Amino acid sequence: MLEGLDPEQRAVATSLRGPVCVLAGAGTGKTRAITHRIAYGVHAGVLQPGSVLAVTFTNRAAGEMRGRLRQLGVAGVQARTFHSAALRQLQYFWPKAVGGGLPRIIDRKVQLVAEAAAACRVRLDRGELRDVTAEIEWSKVTQTVPADYAAAARAAGRETPRDAAEISQLYGTYEDLKRHRSVIDFEDVLLLAVAILQDRHDIAEQVRGQYQHFVVDEYQDVSPLQQRLLDLWLGERDSLCVVGDASQTIYSFTGATPDHLLDFRTRHPGATVVKLVRDYRSTPQVVHLANGLLAQASGRAADHRLELVSQREAGPEPHYSEYTDEPAEAEGAARRIRDLIASGVPASEIAVLFRTNSQSETYEQALADAAIPYQLRGAERFFERPEVREAGAALRGAARFGGNDSLLDDAVDLPSQVRAVLSTKGWTPQPPAGSGVVRERWESLAALVRLAEDFSRARDAATLGDLVAELDERAGAQHAPTVEGVTLASLHAAKGLEWDAVFVVGVAEGMMPITYARTDEQIEEERRLLYVGVTRARRHLHVSWALSRSPGGRAGRRPSRFLDGLRPGSTGSATRVGPLGHGGVEPGSGRAPATAAPAARRRVRTPARCRVCGRTLTDAGEMKLMRCDDCPSDMNEGLYTRLHDWRAAQAKESGQPEFCVFTDRTLVAIAETAPRDEGSLARIPGVGMRKVRGFGADVLAICAGEEGEPGVGDR
């Protein structure tokens, strides 16, 4: 269970007692660490599979966790979203706690909100209807009742889409309509679970008797309501492992907050804290840009940022492109995508990420014009597609009666059986030409074929019946297989995913950060959103923006401020100085960490950081310049020339090589810094007090605009 884990991941896997907080940067293998932790605990006899509840935020992540645990030989662990875990408990305990069956859960609350607006004689357009619905959802996850909405929204600094008192009235009417119709919504699942566990101690004890150990992934996205439910599950125990990254907090508008993650050590003083910073996903070039984005961040989340260290071989530099308008930007992305596919990058390993869903249409058209297959993330659910339902029915029938079906006579293994069955539904070994409905149908069936191949490799003796059971489980969790096509997704929808090549488009002021982000907190969340987009890329990263929205429009846009000092030719903004998270383990002591006396404190050496982009410097030459080689220089060319001539004269007089006076890089560093006194000169790497005593007077005179005379210094 521990083979192949790095030291920090191994620390996560073996820390099985007491509270554990894992601060995991993007691409650092957090899912691997926590699944191996559960598996190691089970195989070591410390954890019982049925007593572990692992919760995360998406069905896909929960499905992936279950799959990995199965591969590690662990069955019986409950890996679910907060909502599915709460719903399962509600369905079981509702007859005992309330009586009767659980009320029906409405799929979409927008229609009911529209009815509430009509009842209140309030007219809402489509956009306002969506925004008011979002405000109701925020209210519920922050445990705000209708009467308190206006005050809570004001305290949270929310910009309400309508008058706060009006939204409060709509919210109250919406709740009344639900009660009259005996229905509940998505957020009610959590609220009702909390209510039952609070009011019925016997039920709470029964749940706590079932679940002894908890793992929470993406802990930076926990809402106050979810934290309340987690506290009730835990009771007075502390067998809890949380995993998160404050720099990936991008859902605060829904009520999510990183405070629970950042305050974990305060709430659990004896907690073990493990920091994962080894990035196995992205190349050093991608990681460099990601670190540079966070280096300029501010706020509480930035105080706990993690400096990623790439573990991959070097790759191409991020590519930056400026276009005249958005259609030209989309066409440019399509051309580059076509080149990547031609070079061997699968279409399913390419993504186009944008800030708002409204940007999607332009890219759909550009990809269609280039005959490049694509899929929209967040569109129709995979298992609800007609061809997938038909295929599932055909596979189910073949699993039941396949022994009498001549279609399977020549099928020697599970993948060939699936190919034979799906060939009757339109699957062919080669994809159809062009795009459109026929191609989309084929892509869905091809995804099922690939799933069968992967499933067969993971389970040698798997049967068609086993695959059908796997499909049923995936359908219930909406854990769809990969479809062969370029992914189009919003930056929010891309969270938790990764691709070989990523195109982050529309990175211009007004879109990134978005126009309505006005406060410092909102601006910083936009920065984190771009960081999430950048860290989705494994190898190829393309960042682009357009100067106008449409052809012929006024070219009034400028690249996002977040790229200042990072993209070639841009001027760097001031680098933020603050605490930095490096990999390591802080063992739990069972009590609050003692504060060392000042005299006993170990001196911590501050890492050298680029004064332009803020990246940590490890190369000696770059440390001498105090900037990355590829960051723009602000060197005084005239001063450098004078210093260069002076060095040549000094070397000639002393009969030694020029680098013995000062190296080229040290001369560049002096020309960039232009020191005015001996202290400033001595602090430049490569100078030091010995050379200040020998050459200081000459160098300072040249920097002051005077002509230094060779031989003045007493060497």
The identity of residue 286, as a single letter, is V
304 Cβ contact partners less than 8 Å away, ≥ 6 residues apart: 23, 246, 247, 262, 579, 581
Sign of the dihedral defined by the CA atoms of residues 121, 124, 129, 133, in that order = negative
Phi, psi for residue 273 in degrees, rounded to 5: -115, 125
Is there a binding annotation on residue 27?
A: yes
Checking DSSP bridges between strand 52-56 and strand 20-24, what pairing results, if any? unpaired
Q: Which of 483, 488, 424 is closest to 450 using CA atoms?
A: 483
| 398 CB-near residues (< 8 Å, 6+ apart) | 405, 407, 408, 417, 421, 464
- Please check if 378 is assigned to a binding site: no
What burial class does residue 132 get, using C-beta atoms within 10 Å of its C-beta: 0-12 exposed, 13-18 middle, 19+ buried?
buried
Count of CB atoms situated within 10 Å of the CB of 113: 23
| 3-class state of residue 322 by DSSP | strand
Q: How far apart are CA 347 and CA 487, in angstroms?
A: 8
CA distance 214 to 54: 6
Contact of 688 with 682, CB cutoff 8 Å: yes
Q: Is 31 annotated as a binding residue?
A: yes
The answer to whether 391 is annotated as binding is no
DSSP letter string, 632-648: PP---HHHHHHHHHHHH
CB distance 319 to 568 below 8 Å: no
CA 370-376-379 angle, to 5 degrees, is 145
Pairing mode of beta strands 584-586, 272-276: antiparallel
292 is in an annotated binding site: no
Tokens of 318: 């991020």
Whether residue 45 is annotated as binding a ligand: the answer is no
Q: Name the nearest CA neighbour of 59 among 474, 383, 533, 382.
A: 474
- On whether 696 is known to bind a ligand per the annotation, the reply is no
CA angle, residues 144, 150, 155, in degrees to nearest 5: 80
What is the pairing mode between strands 240-244 and 20-24? parallel
Check if the beta carbon of residue 541 is closer than 8 Å to that of residue 336.
Answer: no
What gap in Å lies between CA 55 and CA 69, rounded to an integer? 14
Calculate the dihedral angle through the C-alpha atoms of 453, 455, 460, 465, rounding to the nearest 10 degrees: -110
According to the annotation, is 26 in a ligand binding site?
Answer: yes
- Which residues, listed in sequence order, are joined to residue 81 by a DSSP beta bridge? 56
d(CA 370, CA 171): 47
Q: How far apart are CA 637 and CA 666, in angstroms?
A: 14
Binding-site residues for ATP sit at 24-31
Binding-site residues sit at 24-31
